Structure 1
Amino acid sequence: MARIIALDFGKQRTGIAVTDELQLIASGLATVNTKDLLQYLKDYTANENIAGIVVGEPKQRDNTPSESEASIQVFLKKLKTSFPLIPIDRQDERFTSKVAFQSMVEAGLKKKQRQKKELIDEISATLILQSYLNRIQ
């Protein structure tokens, strides 16, 4: 089987998570500068078999799209053009950053480690991917 990648897209940084080849476990992969994201994905997909890409879908509490959805839509067009054969799906990402931070606290990470936004983005991408796996299985 092939892996699934999830993205916690941000204007500055994007967290990336990936499944194992059996698509059972979501693990953090990296956090990259968003301007370098497409090239990172091209390099990654050149070496790995990818079954799909999941992009977080930020929503407000009332289920309307968040302000960042406009920039995500621009990115999605570029993503579809760059990877026309890879299916792209969306997954609700409400509260993933808060859950990611809370999981860091519960894991006993020191305050200095919890302040690393890159780590929060990567954990958020992992939460998005795990939620997606739970939904499709």
Structure 2
Amino acid sequence: MRLMAFDYGTKRIGIAVTDPMQIIATALTTVHPDEVWKFLEDYLRIEVVEKFVVGKPLQMDGTDSESAIHVLGFVRRLKKTYPTIEIAEVDERFTSKMASAVIAQSGKKKNKRQEKGIVDTISATLILQTYMETKAF
């Protein structure tokens, strides 16, 4: 069974998944928030997901950021739509900056590095990796 992570944004949602053995986190796609429910319906028809991992936007002092209200609404709908799938939240501070650094180190041309969708999927992958690392202890 896979884990699936979300880097939720009001314009795009980055999505990452693990392999069925939950060893490797991989960027999957970026979807518009209006399309995420159809995407999940289609994906879950084919794959089994054990847990959703959602990036929680926090400020430097650990309190919720302004965008946290949107993530909360997304999490509520996930719980309502998929009540049998557990949900974990992970601090997502710095994931966008880390994702940009990963893209820069990959050698992609600058305009490719600036594509927000790539940043979002890599951010989702970093959120998933963070969860997997903390779960291992």
Normalising by the smaller structure, the TM-score range is over 0.9
Q: What are the ranges of 5 or more consecutive residues in structure 2 without an aligned counterpart?
A: none
Partner of 1:127: 126
Query: Percent of aligned pairs with the same residue?
Result: 45
- Give 1:109 deviation, angstroms: 1.0
Task: Name the TM-score, length of structure 2 as normaliser.
Answer: 0.97
Any idea what SS the aligned residue of 2:108 has?
coil
For residues 87-109 of structure 1, what are the alpha-carbon distances to aligned partners after superposition, in whole Å with 9 as ceiling and x for unaligned? 01101110000000011111111
Partner of 2:34: 35
Any idea what SS the aligned residue of 2:3 has?
strand
Partner of 1:57: 56
Any idea what SS the aligned residue of 2:102 has?
helix
For residues 38-83 of structure 1, what are the alpha-carbon distances to aligned partners after superposition, in whole Å with 9 as ceiling and x for unaligned? 1211111111011100000111111111111111111111111110
Partner of 1:93: 92
Contact 1:12/1:35 (8 A) holds in 2: no
Contact 1:17/1:28 (8 A) holds in 2: yes
> Which region of structure 1 is more displaced relative to structure 2, 35-44 or 48-57?
35-44
- Give 1:132 deviation, angstroms: 0.3
CA separation in 2, counterparts of 1:131 and 1:76? 19
> Which region of structure 1 is more displaced relative to structure 2, 24-33 or 73-82?
73-82
Q: Give 4+ residue runs of structure 1 displaced > 2 Å after superposition.
A: none
> Which region of structure 1 is more displaced relative to structure 2, 92-101 or 69-78?
69-78
Equivalent positions of 1:1-137 (< 5 A) are 2-137=1-136
Q: What are the ranges of 5 or more consecutive residues in structure 1 without an aligned counterpart?
A: none
CA separation in 1, counterparts of 2:8 and 2:126? 13
Any idea what SS the aligned residue of 1:18 has?
strand
Q: What is the number of residues matched between the two proteins? A: 136
